[in-house]
């Protein structure tokens, strides 16, 4: 019920960010099964794992380069060790990678948790990134799909909404 209300408020523009650590923990509990062990994302959803790795690497690179630019500015801009690096290009690459994760349809609770973890990490990094909101919507959509499958049996297909 909370997920449905949050998704509605987000889609109507009433709130911009609705995924909190508590909300994600409740989603995990709702999908938990007896004997459900944490499994490796790399083995279960290798494509999502690769996308998450890429975002993690790009975020670290962007943070390091941003620090480099700030240090250079503090030193007066002479002898710039970041010469030739475009923060805008790095930001665009990260933005596109986050959108790729947002468009990926998680098929397991491990994949859903990976999206949630990425969302929390990026939330601390940026708050105005368009892709971050798409990732939030994707997390809620995937929860809805996985909850439907859990309630109606694992083999029950749920009509999927297209992701634009």
- The residue extents of the domains of the chain are 44-74+84-153
- Cα 48 → chain centroid: 10
Question: Does 36 have pLDDT greater than 50?
Answer: no
pTM, 2 dp: 0.63
Per-residue pLDDT tens for 126-145?
A: 654 556 677 778 888 888 88
Q: Does residue 16 contact residue 133 with C-beta atoms inside 8 Å?
A: yes
Contact 106, 141 (CB under 8 A): no
Mean pLDDT of the chain: 75
CA 119, chain centre distance (Å): 4
Q: What percent of the chain has pLDDT over 70?
A: 64
Residue 103 to residue 138: CA distance in whole angstroms: 7
Cα–Cα distances (Å) from 94 to 60, 84, 102, 136, in that order, read 10, 18, 12, 16
Question: In this predicted structure, what is the pLDDT of residue 130?
Answer: 55
Q: Quote the tokens at residue 78.
A: 């002479």
């Amino acid at each position: 019920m909370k997920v449905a209300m949050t998704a509605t408020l987000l889609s109507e523009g009433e709130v911009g960010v609705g995924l909190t650590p508590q909300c994600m923990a409740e989603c995990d509990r709702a999908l938990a099964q007896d004997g459900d062990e944490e499994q490796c994302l790399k083995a279960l959803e290798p494509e999502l794992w690769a996308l998450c790795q890429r975002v993690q690497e790009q975020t670290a690179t962007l943070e390091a380069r941003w620090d480099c630019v700030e240090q250079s500015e503090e030193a007066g801009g002479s002898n710039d060790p970041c010469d030739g690096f475009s923060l805008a290009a790095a930001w665009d690459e990260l933005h596109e990678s986050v959108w790729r994760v947002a468009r990926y349809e998680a098929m397991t609770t491990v994949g859903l948790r990976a999206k949630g973890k990425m969302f929390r990490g990026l939330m601390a990094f940026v708050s105005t990134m368009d892709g971050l909101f798409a990732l939030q919507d994707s997390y809620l959509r995937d929860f809805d799909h996985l909850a439907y499958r859990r309630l109606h049996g694992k083999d029950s297909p749920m009509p999927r909404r297209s992701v634009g």
